[in-house]
Amino acid sequence: MISVDQALEQLFSLVSPIGAETVPLTQAVGRVLAADAIASRDQPPFAASAMDGYAVPGNEVAVGAEFDVIGEAAAGHGFSRACGPGQAIRIFTGAPVPQGATRVVIQEDVDRSGDRITLTDRLSGGDNIRPSGADFCAGDKLSAPRLLRPSDIALLASMNIAEVSVARRPDVALISTGDELVMPGENPGPDQIIASNTFGLKALLDGIGARARILPIAGDSRPLLEAAFDLAKDANLIVTIGGASVGDHDLVGDVAEDLGMQRAFYKIAMRPGKPLMAGRMGDAVMVGLPGNPVSAMVCGHVFLAPVIRAMLGLGLHPSSRLSARLAADLPENGPREHYMRAFVQDGEIRAETRQDSSLLTVLADANALLVRPVGDGPRSAGESVEYLPI
């Protein structure tokens, strides 16, 4: 058996980058920036007033000082002339500060009578001016690769970038295998169950930037499997679920090999989801997951998500872990890394009582996979442990 980290290294060695595409800024959130985005102008592009008030020569500001109001500067409509000694410009937030003015006195600190203002004795400090380029300057960049969040989108807009180069969404083909499966909404026979893994994995992988498609279920026959692989052949990642163990009825690996897959089969020291098949099939990475629903989803978090992020250009890293305090004691762990279904709240994590890998209700109630390292000793309530948020 190999470790989870070793298996992930093997998977990463199969990944190649998948290229970029240009999308409008409104579609860029959640995508990965593929080329540096560069500002073409300063922001603000001019010294701008941070308040509503009066722009004046700063050296003349004193309690009781008087100024003639000679014009107005509004956002979008600057005052075209300069502000001379003894003069003030009525100014609003966001407006360009006129030449000659070096301070904005807020309107609350001014008494106005006609076109004359007098500074009151409440005079507050600060020049209330945002210098040109305070946020960014022409040539400043947002560097790729970067997973774009809402605040990045606001920043890119402010840099006057209307469309951005982002990594293409990896095309993932999901194939569930087995005569026992029917699609949701169908009428299962007495020996049959409903295919659920492909639906859960699509939701998971789409959410981290892939474009996953659910292919028709491949029954346990060579022609059905071949037909499924044929439908998958343009994908960047082909995922089969089920048929990846050593039973007599496991055809998936054989058929994939006949179709040219360089096959590797790993028994991974992990629970749940021990067996994993992997290889390259043409231009695609092919991964075979175990068929138990919880195993398939856990492998999705532990193996497929890092593969997708690698394809997106985000580097070769395992899924990020957080830490929390154990709510209750845990016995020692065995020789396999254990991803226990668990619930985290207020920094405290509690493993679910039932850990059988067939229980989707338990997985749905969980919000974390508590990671027990290989050979980890018994742990006491209050100790810090690592988990994957799910």
Stretch that binds a second copy, among 62-70, 87-95, 331-339, 372-380 (CB under 8 A): 87-95
CA 310 to centroid of chain Cα atoms: 13
Query: What's the rounded Cα separation, in Å, for the pair 201 and 308?
Result: 12
- 79/229 with CB nearer a second copy: 79
Answer yes or no whether residue 246 interacts with a second copy by CB under 8 A: yes
Q: Which amino acid is at 367?
A: N
Stretch that binds a second copy, among 81-89, 97-105, 224-232, 290-298 (CB under 8 A): 290-298
- 64/247 with CB nearer a second copy: 247
Residue 29 token pair: 């959130």
Answer yes or no whether residue 77 interacts with a second copy by CB under 8 A: yes
Q: How far is the CB of 144 from a second copy (least distance, A)?
A: 14
Q: Which amino acid is at 134?
A: A
Site for a second copy in 320-339 (CB under 8 A): 323
CA-only gyration radius of the chain, Å: 31
Among 76, 125, 335, 377, binds a second copy (CB under 8 A): 76
SS3 state of residue 188: coil
| x/- letters, 163..202, toward a second copy (CB under 8 A) | x--------------xxxx-xxxx-xxxxxxxxxxxxxxx
Among 84, 347, 375, 378, binds a second copy (CB under 8 A): 347
Q: How far is the CB of 87 from a second copy (least distance, A)?
A: 19
- 12/92 with CB nearer a second copy: 92
Q: Is 367 exposed, middle or buried (0-12, 13-18, 19+ CB in 10 A)?
A: middle
Site for a second copy in 116-135 (CB under 8 A): 130, 134-135
Residue 388 has, within 13 A of its CA and on its CB side, a CA count of 22
Q: Could you tell me which residues come within 8 angstroms of residue 190 by beta carbon, excluding any fewer than 6 positions away?
A: none
Query: What's the rounded Cα separation, in Å, for the pair 311 and 305?
Result: 10
DSSP code, position 121 = T
Site for a second copy in 43-62 (CB under 8 A): 43-46, 48, 50, 52
Answer yes or no whether residue 204 interacts with a second copy by CB under 8 A: yes
